[in-house]
Structure 1
Amino acid sequence: MSTHHDPFTEFRALHHATEPLLLPNAWDHVSAAALVAAGFRAIGTTSLGVAAAHGLPDGQGRTREETVALVRRLTGLPCLLTVDVEGGFSDDPAEVADLAETLAGLGAVGINLEDGRAGRTLADPGRQAEAIRAVKDRVPELFVNARIDTYWLGVDTGDLAPTLDRAHRYRQAGADGIFVPGRIPDLPALLVGVSLPLNVLYLPGERTVPELAALGVRRVSTGSLLLRAAVGATVAAAEAIRAGASPAGPVPSYADIQSLCR
Structure 2
Amino acid sequence: MTDDHSGRPAEAFAALHRQDRPLLLPNAWDHASAALLHAHGFPAAGTTSLGAAAAAGLPDGARATREETLRLAGALGALPFLLSVDAEDGFSDDPGEVAAFARELQARGVVGTNLEDGLGPVDRHVAKIEAVRAAAPGLFVNARTDTYWLGDGEGTLDRVLAYRDAGADGVFVPGLTDPGALAVLVRALDGCPLNVLHAPGGPSLARLAGLGVRRGVSFGSLLYRRALGAALDAVDAVREGRAPGAGTVPACQEVRRLAG
Question: TM-score, normalised on structure 1?
Answer: 0.93
The aligned amino acid for 2:207 is E
Q: Does the 8 Å CA contact 2:176/2:196 hold for their aligned counterparts?
A: no
Q: Does the 8 Å CA contact 2:35/2:258 hold for their aligned counterparts?
A: yes
The aligned amino acid for 1:261 is A
2:189 corresponds in structure 1 to 194
Q: Does the 8 Å CA contact 1:151/1:184 hold for their aligned counterparts?
A: no
Q: Does the 8 Å CA contact 2:144/2:171 hold for their aligned counterparts?
A: yes
- 2:242 and 2:196 map into 1 onto residues whose CA distance is 38
Find the residue that maps to 1:205 and give its secondary structure: coil
1:132 aligns with 2:129: yes
Seen in structure 2, the aligned counterparts of structure 1 residues 3 and 252 have a Cα distance that, compared at 3 Å, is closer
CA displacement 1:52-79 (0-9 Å, x = unmatched): 1122221111100000000111112110
- 1:152 and 1:229 map into 2 onto residues whose CA distance is 20
- 1:72 and 1:3 map into 2 onto residues whose CA distance is 19
The aligned amino acid for 2:183 is P
1:176 aligns with 2:179: no
The aligned amino acid for 2:201 is G
- CA apart distance, 1:3: 5.3
Q: Does the 8 Å CA contact 2:102/2:136 hold for their aligned counterparts?
A: yes
The aligned amino acid for 1:27 is W
2:209 corresponds in structure 1 to 213
Q: Does the 8 Å CA contact 1:4/1:10 hold for their aligned counterparts?
A: no
Question: TM-score, normalised on structure 2?
Answer: 0.94
1:142 corresponds in structure 2 to 139
- CA apart distance, 1:183: 3.1
Find the residue that maps to 2:168 and give its secondary structure: coil
How many residue pairs get aligned? The number is 252
The aligned amino acid for 2:253 is A
2:244 corresponds in structure 1 to 247
User: % of aligned pairs identical?
Assistant: 54
> RMSD across aligned C-alpha pairs, in angstroms?
1.2
Gap runs ≥5 in structure 2: none
Gap runs ≥5 in structure 1: 117-121
- CA apart distance, 1:146: 0.3
1:60 aligns with 2:59: no
- 1:112 and 1:16 map into 2 onto residues whose CA distance is 18
- CA apart distance, 1:18: 1.8
Find the residue that maps to 1:220 and give its secondary structure: strand
2:254 corresponds in structure 1 to 256
- CA apart distance, 1:124: 0.3
1:119 corresponds in structure 2 to none
The aligned amino acid for 1:73 is A
- 2:254 and 2:5 map into 1 onto residues whose CA distance is 31
CA displacement 1:119-160 (0-9 Å, x = unmatched): xxx1100011000000001112100000011001115x24xx
Q: Does the 8 Å CA contact 1:44/1:83 hold for their aligned counterparts?
A: yes
CA displacement 1:87-139 (0-9 Å, x = unmatched): 000010000000000000110000000001xxxxx110001100000000111
